[in-house]
Structure 1
Amino acid sequence: MLAYHSHNIHGATYQENDLVAFAEDLELLQAEGCNLVSLSQVAESVIYGHALPDRAVALSCDDGADYDFIDVLHETWGEQTSFGTKIRQSGQGVLTSFVIADPLAREEIDKKCLAGVGRMNDFWWADAIDSGVLHIGNHSWDHQHSCLERYANMPSERLEFRSVDTIEAADYQLGQAMEFLRGKALNPGNALFAYPYGHWTDYLVQEYLPHHYDAHRLVAAFTTNPEIVHAGSSRWLLPRFVFGQHWRNQSELRYILKQL
C-alpha cells in the first residue's frame, strides 16, 4: 500500500510535489503490471482471506487537503492536477483519502501549518464519493496536531497521537470522527482508520479497536510502517509505504514493487 500527501507542494518536480509523483507513479504501476485495488479490498483480504489479484497495489492519501480531489491553482506553483483527476483519467483504482474530521481543526491547521488559503475543506467529500474514484476514510477528529491551540499545554511527548490511551481519548478522536463522517460522507472508507503520523498506542491496538466496535465502527487501521501486507498482518496495524519517507524516486519505488 502506498500513501501520499497532496498538500506537499514545494515545486514542480517528482521529489518536490506529491501530485506530480502520484501522476508519474500511476504510469509506472501500469507499466509494471500492477493491479490497483482499494484499501477496503486489502482489509477484507486480511480479515476474511479474500483473494487479491497478483501484484495488487492500494493507494491512499492523508489529511484530506482539497488537492486530493479538486484541481486547484496553487498560489506559487500554478495549476495542480488532483489525485482524483489522475485516478479518473487512468480508468482504474479507488483512492482512499483519510481526512481530519473537525472543521475547526482543519481551519486552524490550514492557517498555521499550510499556506493559510483555505485548502482543508469538506464540500468536495460527497462529490468525491459519487465520482467512484475516492473513498473518504477516518484520520481522527483533529490529528492531535501540535499547531492546535487546544493542545498548547500538552507535553510534546504526549502530542501527535501518542496520548490516545484511554477510552475517553479514543472516543474523542476515533468515535467522534466516525459519527461526523458517517453523517457527512457515508461510504466504505468510513470503516478504515489511518493513524495520524503513523503513531499508535497499545491501548488502541489491543483494547479499543478490537473490543469497542460499536463506538468506532472501524474494521481496519493503517500505520506508516514500510512493509508489504500479508496474510499474517494485523488488521489494526496494516502497513503503508509513504512517498518522501520510504521512497523518493521511481527507482526506489520499483524496488518496493519487486517485493510483490
Structure 2
Amino acid sequence: MRVPILTYHGVNIAGNDYATNDHVAFAADLDAIHALGLRIVPVAWVVDAVLGRATRDLARCVALTCDDGSNFDYHDLDHPQHGRQKSFYNALLDFRARHGAHAQPDLHLTSFVIAEPAARDAMDRLCLVGRDWMREDWWRAAQASGLVAIENHSWDHNHPCLTSPGPAGLVRGDFHDVGDEAKAEFEIAQAQDYIASRIERRPSLFCYPFGHVNDFLRADWLPRRGAALGLDAAFGDGATPATVDTDRWNVPRYICGWHWKSPEGLAQILRDAAK
C-alpha cells in the first residue's frame, strides 16, 4: 500500500484557473486520477490498513481530504471577485454524472471542520469576505450523503485572527504550542464532543491545523487519549504516500497549492506513489 492522500482548501480562491483555485484543481484532479486508472477510496480505509483491521487491496489508490470546513466544501457559492464556485461535494456529483457511479464506486471526500461557532464567525469576517460562509448547517447532510465524512480539525484552529486568549497561555497561531493536557483537551477533546452533537457520530479522525505536529500530541497525548475520544488517527502534511508502516498519529498528506501546483505536478506525485 502506497496511497497518496490529497488535500484541498475550499477557501483557496484567488482566481479561476488550476494554480489559483482549489475548486478548479479538485474537479480536474478527479478526472485525472480516473484517467490514470487509479481508484479513489475513503481515507478511513487507509487508516484501517495502517491499524491492521482490514485487508482491502489498496494498491493504486488515492484518498481525498479537505480542510477548514467552509461552506465551499458543500455549497456552490458566488464569490464576490471570482464568480460562481462549484463546491467539492457538487464536483463529486458532477464526476458521477459524467462517468457513472460504476467508474469510481468508492468515491469519497473527508472534510475536516473547525468546531467552535465563534471562531468560525471570526475567521469568516476577518479572513474571508464576511458572508457567513463558515457555517455548520451543511455538516449533517454532507455526512448523510455517503460521499463526504465530517471529521475533527480542532476547536478553533488556534487561529491567529482570534482575539480571545488561549487556555493555559496557549500562543495563538501556532498549533505546535498545544503541548500540555489542558491545551489538548481544549483544542481536540471538546471539538470531538461538539462535532458529534451536530452530526450524531463521533469523529474518528483528527487533522492538525497548519500541519503543526508536535511530539506531545503525536507520541503521548493522542496515543493515551485517542481511543477514549473515539479517534483512530491524526493527519499531518508529510508529502509521502501512506503505507502500512505509517505512524497512525501523523498520517502524511499532500497539500494542493503547496506540494503540487499544476496537473503535471500531481501526475508526478501519483506516478511516484504507484511505483
Q: TM-score, normalised by structure 1?
A: 0.94
Give the residue type in structure 1 aligned to 2:120: R
Partner of residue 90, structure 2 = 85
Q: State whether residues 69 and 84 of structure 1, in contact with CA within 8 Å, keep that contact through their aligned partners in structure 2.
A: yes
- Distance in 2 (CA, whole Å) between partners of 1:216 and 1:166 is 17
Within-5 A mapping of 1:219-230: 219-230=232-243
Q: State whether residues 129 and 187 of structure 1, in contact with CA within 8 Å, keep that contact through their aligned partners in structure 2.
A: no
Partner of residue 44, structure 1 = 48
Q: Tell whether 2:55 aligns with 1:58.
A: no
- Structure 1 residue ranges without an equivalent (≥5): none
- Identical pairs, percent: 37
Within-5 A mapping of 1:161-180: 161-180=175-194
- Distance in 1 (CA, whole Å) between partners of 2:67 and 2:194 is 17
Give the residue type in structure 2 aligned to 1:72: L
Partner of residue 39, structure 2 = 35
Structure of greater relative contact order (alpha carbons < 8 Å, 6+ residues apart): 2
- Structure 2 residue ranges without an equivalent (≥5): 97-103
Partner of residue 155, structure 2 = 141
Q: Tell whether 2:78 aligns with 1:73.
A: yes
- Distance in 1 (CA, whole Å) between partners of 2:187 and 2:170 is 18
What is the Cα deviation at residue 226 of structure 1?
Answer: 0.5
Q: State whether residues 195 and 223 of structure 1, in contact with CA within 8 Å, keep that contact through their aligned partners in structure 2.
A: yes
Partner of residue 10, structure 2 = 6
Partner of residue 104, structure 1 = 118
What is the Cα deviation at residue 130 of structure 1?
Answer: 1.3
Partner of residue 242, structure 1 = 255
CA deviation map 1:145-200 (0-9, x unaligned): 01100148999976321111111111111100000011101347x10001000001
What is the Cα deviation at residue 81 of structure 1?
Answer: 0.6
- Distance in 1 (CA, whole Å) between partners of 2:73 and 2:6 is 14
- Distance in 2 (CA, whole Å) between partners of 1:214 and 1:45 is 17
Give the residue type in structure 2 aligned to 1:26: L
Partner of residue 255, structure 1 = 268
- Distance in 1 (CA, whole Å) between partners of 2:79 and 2:18 is 16
SS of the equivalent of 1:79 reads strand
SS of the equivalent of 1:169 reads helix
Per mean C-alpha deviation after superposition, the further-off stretch among 143-152 and 26-35 is 143-152
Q: TM-score, normalised by structure 2?
A: 0.89
